[in-house]
Each structure stands twice: as C-alpha cells, then as structure tokens.
Amino acid sequence: MSLFKKSKIEQNTPRLAPWKIAIIDDEEGVHEVTKLTLRKFSFEKRGVEFLSAHSGEEGLALLKANPDIALAFVDVVMETDDAGLKLVDAIRNDLKNHVTRLILRTGQPGQAPEEDVIRRYDINDYKAKTELSSLKLKSCVYTAIRSYRDIQTIEKGKRGMEDVLKSSSSVLASQSLAQFGTAVLKQTLTLLNLNNSVLYLSTQHTDLYGDTSMTVLGASGDLIGLCEPGISTRIPESIEEEVKSVLANKAHFQSDNVFIGYYPTGEDSHNILYIKLDQPLDDMQRKTLEMFASNVAVIFQNLTQKEDIQKTQKELIMVLSDAIEMRSKETGGHVRRVILMTEFLAEKLHMSKEFIETIRYSAALHDVGKISIPETILHKPGKLDPDEWEIMKTHAQKGYELLADSDRIVAKMGAIIAKTHHERWDGKGYPDGLAGDNIPVEGRIMAIVDVVDALLSKRCYKPAWSVDEVKAYLKENAGKQFDPLITHVMLEHFDRILEIRATEPDEDE
C-alpha cells in the first residue's frame, strides 16, 4: 500500500476556495515580490489567489468585478500622485464596499502623511514599502484576512437574522414552520462557520398507539428539499437508520464526517441534530449546537403543536364536510353533543390530557362511514329488514377504511372509534365481535354516548325516550352492551349529560 495514498476523509473533503488578494501597483516588481512572499500563505486551510491591477482605474474595475476580494494592497502614487487615495474613496463610497480590507503602500511616505491619510480615508493599514519585510507582510495579511472573515460572518449573520425575522412573521401568520426552522439553522451554521455543512432538526414523538414519527423542522444544504412545500418529508433511509441508532442509545454520536446530537424534550419526544461535517466539530461549536437544540427546539416544539392542530383541522374539515352534507338535518346537533359528552366522560375517567384533547375531535368522526349507506336505508321510517340491516352495519368498517391511512392522531383515533363504537361488552356487537377490555376504551366511551344521545332524541323511525327510560336502559345493559364502569360514571353524572343536550339541541327541538 502506498504511503502517499490519501485517506477517505481527505478524498471526500471539498477543496475550500482561496482568499482573494488584490495587488494594485504600477510597479511590476512589487507584484512579483508580493506574490513570491505570500505564495505559500494559508489561513484556515485556504490558500490565496492573486489578482493584479496596475492603475487606479484598473483597480476600481477589479474590485467591481470581484466584490469578494478579502484584501487589497493599494499603491498611493500610480497614474497620479493621489490615484490610490481616490481609489480607496471610490471603493468605500461608490462601490459601497466596506468589507474588503485595504492596506495602502507608498514608496514616498512624506508625499501622503500617514496621520492625515488614516484620519481622512477608510483604510485598515498604511505602510511604507521599505518597511514591509517578509515577516511583517505575512503578519499584516493574517490580521487583515482574519478581520475580513469576522466581518463576513457578521454580515451573513445580519442577513440570516433578517431571514429569521421574516420567517417568524410567516409562522405567526400560520404559514410555514419549516421556513422558520430553516432560517434559524442557516443562521446557526453561519455563526459557527459551518457553511458547507448540512444540518436539520427533527422531532420524534410516540403517540397513544405506540407509533412514532419524524418531523423535519429545518434543513440546509443537500437536504433543503425536505422542507420545501409540496415535497415529501421522507428522511433518506441511510440517515434514518443512523438517527434510530442514536435514539436507541440515547446519546450523541460523532465520527469524522457526521455529528448526531440527541436532546430529549419529554418522556416521549426527542430532538435530533444531524450534521454532515467537513471536519470534526470543536468544543465551541458543539456547545453552541447543544444550546441551539436544547433551547430553540423548545420553540419548534410549541410551533409544531400549533401546526399539527392546523393540519388536523384541515383533515377534519375535508372529511366532515362530505359526511355532514349527506346526513339528515334531524341529527345536526348530534355530532356537537357527542363531542362534548365524550370529552366529559374521558375527564371523569381520568384519561390523559392528550387522550382527552384527541377524543374531543375524533368523536365527530364516529359515523363518517354512513356516507356510504344509501339514503333509502339511512332515513327509512320504521325497522330495517335483515338485508338492509346488514348494509347499515357496514358503516363501521367503511368509516375505519376512510380514516385508517392517515397518520394524524385525530384521524387514527377516529378510525378506531368508527370501527368499534358498535361493539358490545358481551361480545355480541359488530363488526368484529370484540368483548370487554378488548374493545378500545375510546370505542367503549363512544358506544354509550352514541346510544344515550340517540335514545334521548327524536328520529324518523322513533320518538324520543324519557330520561327515566334511558336510565333504566343503561342499568339493564351495564355489563352487557356497555362497559359497567363507564355506565356507572354516565349515570352518576347524568344531569351534566342533560345540560350538554340542552346547549346543543336539534333544530326541531
């Protein structure tokens, strides 16, 4: 094996652009000596590229064409005695370039007094050509380029902050969280001089059913497409596997070309920073990134919840608009009532806050499958015949199928409620004949709420039952049709159920 073979990291590391140094002087010898002295100059693994001009006019054209020049050596006396001074004035005032570092050099120090020149002109140094030895020349170049780098970072930071502020207004206007996240990430990368790296933040959340999801909150570099509207946010499989490994180990991971930071934000959620590296992070960069992930991510988490609710509302509007359109006016208040009743029962059963918030919206989806039932059956006066009843029962499975493909938690619970709210505690229900605790609790809650509201309401096929008749029915069917514990809670707070019905009456009541 050759001793001179490059390592894999060296082969994959992109070559950094050189620092541009302009030499503006009418003496060709000055150009040659400057280039010879600085030919091996390197700062932060970047070499130098020399650009030459031999007059003030040529120098101005050079700066206009190359605004990214880091340092310009400018001779005072060229085509005129003050050509260099006029060039400096034009660079700062006409070109509005206040970033390039300017070092005036003169072979006749007395002709342009140093104090007067420094006071009147926006320059960074003023040297007599005779005093610029090789060591001093390199020293002033180090100082100038370091200053240029810092100014560039500040300028990029200002532009980045403008992007953050602009995107913040978009978020507050209920637009794009990803836009905000990406702007903040770009700002962080700029401040850390990681402009060639790729970084994105994702959040993992495990919901009530044990399913987990990754949400891209911000991206840069070759992963920026993950945050663009209309483009899939599916994380590349290779990255997803690395992130899963970090989640399993619950610890940071760093190699020569990647850093993955692990930051838990709660019992069931985590923030991940994934960065492709040109070189390993130093301590300052790691601490800054940790501060970013631990603090800014909290903002992301809150904004994500807001965006999640907005997406859920959109899905519900789409589903319910079709369902309600096909339902009869006589059940217009039914959906609103079961929402309030299920929320109330979930609270009395001491369910989690997330469960209560979810069932509050999911309850509206319990009969969505009825959009597939013919009007002749759905609104038939009197009892359905056996064939019609079999068709009517399909609405439970149809409702589940409508919602099952969604990964939104409200739709997921809605699918379960739609399918199981006609199951019975004794196993004689439909569509699957589940019994007891095998019926999901949300289905058991909806089963009793749906029946109670239906019995207390007038329908095209029956008159409304009295309160006493409904209570007697519940007592008789506790442990048969209904969960006995939920039935007990329902009966214990039946007055509240009646209050809810009074606030959301049907149109003909």
- Judged by DSSP in three states, 234 sits in coil
Sign of CA dihedral 97, 98, 104, 109: positive
User: Is the N-terminal amide bond of 505 cis, ω within 30° of 0?
Assistant: no
Could you give the count of Cα atoms lying within 13 Å of 387 in the half-sphere of its Cβ?
A: 2
* 456, 464 Cβ separation under 8 angstroms: yes
User: How far is 475 from 267, CA to CA, in rounded Å?
Assistant: 40
SS3 of 265-277: CCCCEEEEEEEEC
The predicted structure's pLDDT at residue 492:
96
Give the residue from 159, 124, 144, 112 showing the smallest Cα distance to 19. Answer: 144
* Terminal-residue alpha carbon distance, the chain: 91
* 202, 185 Cβ separation under 8 angstroms: no
DSSP for residue 329: G
Using only C-alpha atoms, the chain has a radius of gyration, in whole angstroms, of: 36
Other C-beta atoms within 10 Å of 325: how many? 8
pLDDT tens by residue, 187-233: 677 667 676 556 666 666 667 777 767 777 777 777 777 766 545 56
User: How far is 220 from 229, CA to CA, in rounded Å?
Assistant: 15
Other C-beta atoms within 10 Å of 398: how many? 18
pLDDT tens by residue, 416-425: 999 999 999 9
Give the residue from 16, 71, 448 showing the smallest Cα distance to 62. Answer: 71
Tokens 């490994």: give the residue.
245
* 80, 56 Cβ separation under 8 angstroms: yes
Beta bridge partners of 50: 21
The full set of domains in the chain, from first to last, is 8-151 (3.40.50.2300), 174-299 (3.30.450), 326-503 (1.10.3210.10)
Give the Å distances, CA to CA, from 446 to 319, 365, 441, 480.
19, 11, 9, 15
Whether residue 316 has pLDDT greater than 80:
no
Which of the four pLDDT bands, split at 50, 70 and 90, describes residue 291? confident
Q: What is the mean pLDDT of residues 25-37?
A: 92
Residue 34: exposed, middle, or buried by beta-carbon count in 10 A (0-12, 13-18, 19+)? buried
The predicted structure's pLDDT at residue 5:
36
Number of H helices, E strands in the chain: 19, 10
pLDDT tens by residue, 87-140: 999 999 999 999 999 999 887 765 666 777 878 888 888 888 777 778 888 888
247: which 2 tokens? 């989640």
Residue 370 known to be catalytic: yes
20, 370, 412, 419: which is the annotated catalytic residue?
370
Tokens 């409904």: give the residue.
470
The more confidently predicted of residues 45 and 186 is: 45
In degrees and rounded to multiples of 5, residue 264 shows phi and psi of -70, 140
Whether residue 444 has pLDDT greater than 90:
yes
355: which 2 tokens? 């469960």
The more confidently predicted of residues 166 and 244 is: 244
Amino acid at 482: F
306: which 2 tokens? 């807001």
Give the residue from 197, 196, 198 showing the smallest Cα distance to 216. Answer: 198
Statement: the pTM of the whole predicted model exceeds 0.85: no
Whether residue 182 has pLDDT greater than 80:
no
Give the Å distances, CA to CA, from 404 to 77, 125, 413, 418, 435.
80, 71, 9, 10, 22
